[in-house]
A and B are shown apart, each in its own frame.
Chain A
């Protein structure tokens, strides 16, 4: 077929402890917008990074206009005609809009940069995209929409054949999104192939011609957008987990169990709105919803990472002000963050030090635990969580993802928390470790601790939760019973009109 512009076949890549891409195929036609979908860790960005030469794939072929390519870096991919516009715009904020479009290829006059011509041409390019912008403005002072357009203008002007838009709409308002879509349609007419990565499903239906869904590094399928409905799409993204190995018994909090946490109407305007819920002793509350639905933002407010400007948080019946994570820890809370590498492990410290860190933080550095105490604590949790490490003095950075996750869990269990907030604790780790962590959560509930469990995988949420809170569009969409069917939750997540359901 002549109109296939890009084809990737049998893409495979493995990172330590996890197979990030497993025999993934992807085809892009000339003049189409192709949505690439999947939750975090599904392999979208890994696939794109293979295409743009950031990662080296272990197996697979890439054909650009039927010719095999293997770009070794981004510049090479760009020269071949594959341009990427990233979510955090990859331009220089300190240069003007015009310069960002033309840098490296500025028009010259008598050996000097011809700023006048450059600004004029930049104005024209932006004009073509329907942007009436003062191109001499410093890029950093412009809105994200303009920055993105500048980025697209640059990509298009260097003769791109394939344009990859990585989450371009996440910081745009409705008008700006519509505008971007007009530009995308226009570029489509000109024969570009556009890969559109997003987690806004409405936008997928609004703009894309076809779509490809990935999950856990595997290809779920490729669909014509017009022939799939939203529910089917959401199901394919977060629905049934094929890897159920263990059967689990849900926690059974007593009817009259006391409230551990009561959250009343907290929010940060323009970020998260009006979240209210409560958690009982011994209960596991699941947070479902797509990426960017406000799950993590809620957890961060609960743990004092960000500060709600309104509403009240009550812990054990006492109203609290959480200025920093330490305040939350002192309230017997614990938080395993989503990004293990960035916010979780202290890579160069030993397993022992990582496990004792939070306990030590609550005691202050002047009241150190004895070395023996530390070793006992570390060994205890290495045993309980069956962390596979030669000994407690091993650098955490050298462990596999699943074991790192367990070390972070151990850090928090060691503080004897009453309430654990786990943000995507099972992402990017292998199936065995996943089931183990789920089992652990339920054991903790048995012991009378409470757990808030955030996950993209509906399956595990339903399997573990006593109650399920569904998040959508940065607010709480529904609160459901733990026995709710998956289909019902999917319906709420996929729902167009939030007001209908939230009742």
Chain B
């Protein structure tokens, strides 16, 4: 009998094996470095309130639009593709909502529906182009980016602010963290920390993304395509349909990110979110998503977004440091993670050869 791994019921070893799967290494690296950097910030600026729940919650709400977009991007990257259009599509969403409500006087819900539809169809169109015309994802989505940006500017060149009760109330929605005081009454903690709609959307999307990836056939097909599209095809999986749907889902995520951004800034601007596609992709890479495809977890992406958000937070708390150091540190982080990825890949290859 050939046997591998565990024979018999040594459950603990099995659990250990499962936890030390090489795929998880990247996620562990992300979590580890996040803890290190967070601890670093806590030691230096703990007294200024860096460790407060409020600061922590801001990491979520200030970066919700990046995070929501990263959910879709994670899926695209797992298939081995890339999408450069996410920032522009999000920006277009913002313009549609702003122009629709403020200039045309439409109800925000109508505008939001239109925006979501536009996002999904643009995504599906790009996916079809990549799948059926064999155009590299990079070129296709770059074109998509130009197109969406251009349409933004055709709609309006100026920033349009949004004044609508519904948007205001959505943006103003907050769940406060409370604790009982000496009298047993529930009062807001100090400094006041809250959960806003953006944070909820972010977390919900991460959960939805994780469920899709881990619990549906579609999600597993996404991994299979990234592992080997040719094999997936030979195994009879619907490669074409899956790939198109992944880009459509990413379009949906971009539109949702745009809505989240609208709630954040309450305006639409044709140049909004310039270059944010890089923030999104970087977050995913830092979160352990392999750009060569096939490997990535939503938990990793969540941690990647938070880790990437922690750096500017620390720099803000420092006060003296130029905010541009954030870019350099992000670049260094990327370099670090790409090198780690390389090492993991070659280590896995070695393990296989044994």
Chain A residues packing against B (C-beta within 8 Å) = 74-75, 78-79, 84, 90-95, 99, 103-104, 106, 108, 112-113, 130-134, 136-138, 140-143, 145-146, 154, 175-176, 179
Q: Closest 3 interchain pairs by CB?
A: A92-B227, A134-B5, A94-B227
Q: Is B46 among interface residues, defined by CB-CB distance under 8 A?
A: no
**Binding-face segment, B29-37, B213-221, B272-280, B312-320:** B213-221
What CA separation (Å) do A84 and B216 show in the bound complex?
27
Which of B220, B224, B348 is close to A113, meaning CB atoms less than 8 Å apart?
B220
Residue of B with least CB distance to A74 = B234
Contact call B2/A103, Cβ cutoff below 8 A: no
Mask for B255-268, Cβ within 8 A of A = 1, else 0?
00000000000000
Asked if residues B223 and A137 are in contact (CB atoms below 8 Å), the reply is no
* A130–B2 touching, CB < 8 Å: yes
B169 on the interface (CB 8 Å rule)?
Answer: no
A179 touches B224 (CB 8 A): no
Nearest chain B CB to A88 CB, angstrom units: 10
Q: Is B124 an interface residue (CB 8 A)?
A: no
Q: Are A103 and B233 in contact (CB under 8 A)?
A: no
Nearest-CB residue, chain B, relative to A79: B236
Residues of B within 8 A of A145 (CB): 2
22 chain-A/chain-B pairs, Cβ below 8 angstroms: A74-B233, A74-B234, A84-B234, A91-B228, A91-B235, A92-B223, A92-B294, A93-B227, A94-B23, A94-B295, A95-B220, A95-B223, A95-B224, A104-B237, A106-B220, A134-B4, A137-B4, A140-B348, A140-B352, A142-B4, A143-B352, A146-B4
Query: In whole angstroms, what is the CA distance A84 to B237 when docked?
Result: 15
Chain B contact residue count (CB 8 A cutoff): 38
Q: Which of B2, B4, B22, B294 contacts A175 (CB 8 A)?
A: B2
Residues A94 and B294 in contact in the complex (CB < 8 Å), given A78-B236, A103-B220: yes
Q: How far is the CB of A489 from chain B (nearest CB, A)?
A: 34
B181 in contact (CB, < 8 A)? no
Q: A104-B217, A154-B235 are in contact. Are A132 and B3 (CB under 8 A)?
A: yes
Q: How far is the CA of A90 from the CA of B348 in the complex (A)?
A: 18
Contact B348 A134 (CB under 8 A): no
Q: Do B217 and A138 touch across chains, with their CB atoms under 8 A apart?
A: no
Shortest distance between the CB of A134 and any CB in chain B (Å) = 3
A95 to B227, CA, bound (A): 8
Q: Which residue of A lies closest to B13 (CB)?
A: A134
Chain B residues near A140 (CB-CB < 8 A): 348, 352
A94-B223 CB under 8 A given contacts A134-B5, A136-B18, A137-B5: yes
Most buried by A among B17, B215, B226: B215
Task: Name B241-292 residues within 8 Å CB distance of A.
Answer: none
Question: B154 in the interface, Cβ–Cβ < 8 Å?
Answer: no
Contact with A90, one of B7, B211, B228, B294 (Cβ below 8 angstroms): B228
CB distance from A13 to the nearest CB of B (A): 20
B113 lies within 8 A of chain A by Cβ: no
Mark B303-335 against chain A: 1 for CB-CB distance below 8 A, else 0: 000000000000000000000000000000000
Determine if B221 and A104 form an interchain contact, defined as CB atoms under 8 angstroms apart. yes
Q: Chain A: which residue is nearest B349 at the CB level?
A: A140
Establish whether residues A138 and B2, one from each chain, have CB atoms under 8 Å apart when the complex forms: no
A-contact bits for B327-352, CB 8 A (1 contact / 0 none): 00000000000000000000010011
Given contacts A103-B235, A133-B2, 8 further A-B contacts (CB under 8 A): A74-B233, A78-B236, A91-B228, A104-B221, A104-B236, A133-B4, A134-B14, A179-B2
Give every chain A residue within 8 A of B134 (Cβ-Cβ): none
Chain B, range 9-29, C-beta contacts under 8 Å to A: 14, 17-18, 21-23
Q: Cβ of A94 and Cβ of B226 under 8 Å apart?
A: yes
Bound-state Cα–Cα, A113 to B215, Å: 5
Inter-subunit contact A93/B237 (CB<8 Å):
no
Q: Given A134-B4, A134-B6, A142-B4, answer yes or no on A90-B237 (Cβ-Cβ < 8 Å).
A: no
CB distance from A166 to the nearest CB of B (A): 12
B230 at the interface (CB under 8 A from A): yes
Q: Which residues of A contact B217 (CB under 8 A)?
A: 103-104, 106, 108, 113
- B1 on the A face (CB < 8 A): yes
Contacts of A84 in B (CB 8 A): 234
Report Cα–Cα, A426/B14, bound state, in Å.
53
Please indicate the chain A residues that have their CB under 8 angstroms from the CB of B215 in the complex: 112-113
Residues A130 and B1 in contact, CB atoms below 8 Å apart: yes
Q: Does B159 contact A (CB under 8 A)?
A: no
User: Given the complex of chains A and B, what is the CA–CA distance between A154 and B234 in angstroms?
Assistant: 12
In Å, the complex CA distance between A358 and B232 comes to 39
Using CB atoms, name the residue of chain A closest to B238. Answer: A104
Give the CA-CA distance A95 to B217 in the complex, in Å: 13
CB distance from A99 to the nearest CB of B (A): 6
Distance from B146 Cβ to chain A, minimum over Cβ atoms (Å): 29
Chain A residues near B227: list those with CB within 8 A. 92-95
List of A residues within 8 angstroms of B211 by Cβ: 112
The answer to whether B1 and A92 touch across the interface, beta carbons within 8 angstroms, is no
* Residue B143, interface by CB 8 Å: no
Residues of A contacting B351 in the complex (Cβ-Cβ under 8 angstroms): 141
A176 near B2 with CB under 8 A, answer yes
Question: Which chain A residue shows the least CB distance to B290?
Answer: A94
Q: Which of A84, A143, A176 has the most CB of B within 10 A?
A: A143
> In the complex, what distance in Å separates the CA atom of A92 from the CA atom of B223?
8
Distance in Å: Cβ of B212 to nearest Cβ of chain A: 10
